[in-house]
């Protein structure tokens, strides 16, 4: 028994070494992929160049992949290597790696999605190389890479879930750049809402009493939500902007618009926060005499379910590669942002770890955009 266990451990170590060697040999190509995506920031559902860069990587730069160029969404793709005809729960293990590549308006890849694309491609290349090195693999394995657009706005993964895009996967992996290395950080459930107030224009100096001020409604709503915060649970979040507030100071604004994000640690609490926020929006309309419309986003993002087994294995293997994982309890227990990977975590077992890119800059800032353009992180998976 000890001899068999030792033999299996040696095979496993050989696979890990082979995966690392494959990634190392492809590091220049992987960095070029990341840099090219970073250089052409594209918004949600519009990532045509970034999509094409990744498709070319799996059709031309790397060999042996079967690629579906437009996988259920125009800017999604699917690259597959290994046994075909596998079915979830059958005799073939189908392991999925995800690539994100949409950017933020105005500041480009300030969330480092170009690095998520690089890491997803690198992990898939490494696993393919490791499996090819096995003479007698103990299980049949298919490696699948799925390009998932529109994480920042819209929820491309949720679109793919609804279209059956992950039904044959047994496990799914992606990794996100951050200010520290962590196998798991809590991501929140999130819903976004656009609030539109309709009033009546009038000359603001000559006869303001004839107008109905939509900007007043927006300001009231904003202040209502600010006051609401003191009555919310400490880990609930709501934040937003006044997107439109009028056209000229001497015209009573007939239209105003706000965008707000609502977040709770668990998806079950999101309807409670949504109901409280709606009271703030509607009461502002009532107070000013405006008409109000609420338009919620196409998808609600769920919190990410932790997978303790995968997180433990990720951390064990990461430490063996020299990664120093954060032990800061405040970081590990403080709610972070939101991601459509959360919805996927309720459908397929998976992991969404965070990795340090050598910069203390904060995500969604111009400084992080610059850091994401300098970084390359293919060798720590």
- What is the residue-wise DSSP string for 293-312? EEEE-S-PBPPPPP-HHHHH
Helical (H) or strand (E) element with 258: strand 255-264
CB–CB of 300/190 below 8 Å? yes
* Rounded Cα–Cα distance for residues 96 and 73 (Å): 17
Residue 165, strand partner residues? none
Q: Which residue has the tokens 């070494």?
A: 17
CA atoms within 13 A on the CB side of 279: 7
Helical (H) or strand (E) element with 147: strand 140-147
pTM beyond 0.85, yes or no? yes
Ordered per-residue pLDDT tens for the chain, 381 residues? 457 677 677 878 888 899 999 999 999 999 999 999 999 999 999 999 999 999 999 999 999 999 999 999 999 999 999 987 555 656 899 999 999 999 999 999 999 999 999 999 999 999 999 999 887 777 899 999 999 999 999 999 999 999 999 999 999 999 999 999 999 999 999 999 999 999 999 999 999 999 999 999 999 999 999 999 999 999 999 999 999 999 999 999 999 999 999 999 999 999 999 999 999 999 999 999 999 999 999 999 999 999 999 999 999 999 999 999 999 999 999 888 999 999 999 999 999 999 999 999 999 999 999 999 998 544 433
* Rounded Cα–Cα distance for residues 112 and 200 (Å): 43
If you compute the radius of gyration of the chain from its CA atoms, what whole number of angstroms results? Answer: 24
Classify residue 209 by burial, with Cβ atoms within 10 Å: 0-12, 13-18, 19+: exposed
* Rounded Cα–Cα distance for residues 44 and 73 (Å): 12
CA atoms within 13 A on the CB side of 274: 16
């Amino acid at each position: 028994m000890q001899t068999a266990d030792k033999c299996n451990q040696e095979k496993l170590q050989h696979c890990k070494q082979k995966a690392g060697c494959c990634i190392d040999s492809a590091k220049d190509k992987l960095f070029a992929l990341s840099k090219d995506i970073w250089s052409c920031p594209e918004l949600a559902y519009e990532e045509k160049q970034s999509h094409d860069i990744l498709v070319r990587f799996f059709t031309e730069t790397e060999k042996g992949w079967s690629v579906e160029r437009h996988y259920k969404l125009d800017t999604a793709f699917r690259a597959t290597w290994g046994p075909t005809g596998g079915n979830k729960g059958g005799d073939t293990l189908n392991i999925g790696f995800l690539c994100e590549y949409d950017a933020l308006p105005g500041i480009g890849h300030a969330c480092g999605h170009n690095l998520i694309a690089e890491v997803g491609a690198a992990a898939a290349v490494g696993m393919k190389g490791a499996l090819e090195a096995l003479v007698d693999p103990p299980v049949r394995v298919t490696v699948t890479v799925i390009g998932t657009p529109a994480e920042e706005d819209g929820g491309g993964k949720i679109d793919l879930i609804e279209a059956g895009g992950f039904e044959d996967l047994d496990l799914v992996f992606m990794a996100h750049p951050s200010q520290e290395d962590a196998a798991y950080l809590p991501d929140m459930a999130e819903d976004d809402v656009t609030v539109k107030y309709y009033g009546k224009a009038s000359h603001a100096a000559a006869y303001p009493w004839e107008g109905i001020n939509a900007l007043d409604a927006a300001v009231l709503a904003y202040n209502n939500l600010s006051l609401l915060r003191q009555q919310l649970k400490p880990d609930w979040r709501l934040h937003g902007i006044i997107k439109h507030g009028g056209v000229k100071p001497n015209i009573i604004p007939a239209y105003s618009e706000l965008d707000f994000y609502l977040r709770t640690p668990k998806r079950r609490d999101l309807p409670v926060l949504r109901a409280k926020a709606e009271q703030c929006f509607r009461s502002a309309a009532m107070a000013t005499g405006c008409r109000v419309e609420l338009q919620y986003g196409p998808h609600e993002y769920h919190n990410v379910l932790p997978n303790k087994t995968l997180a433990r294995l990720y951390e064990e293997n990461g430490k063996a590669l020299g990664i120093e994982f954060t032990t800061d309890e405040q970081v590990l227990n403080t709610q972070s942002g939101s991601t459509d990977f959360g919805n996927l975590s309720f459908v397929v077992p998976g992991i969404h770890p965070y990795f340090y890119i050598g910069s203390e800059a904060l995500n969604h800032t111009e400084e992080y955009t610059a850091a994401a353009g300098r970084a390359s992180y293919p060798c720590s998976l």
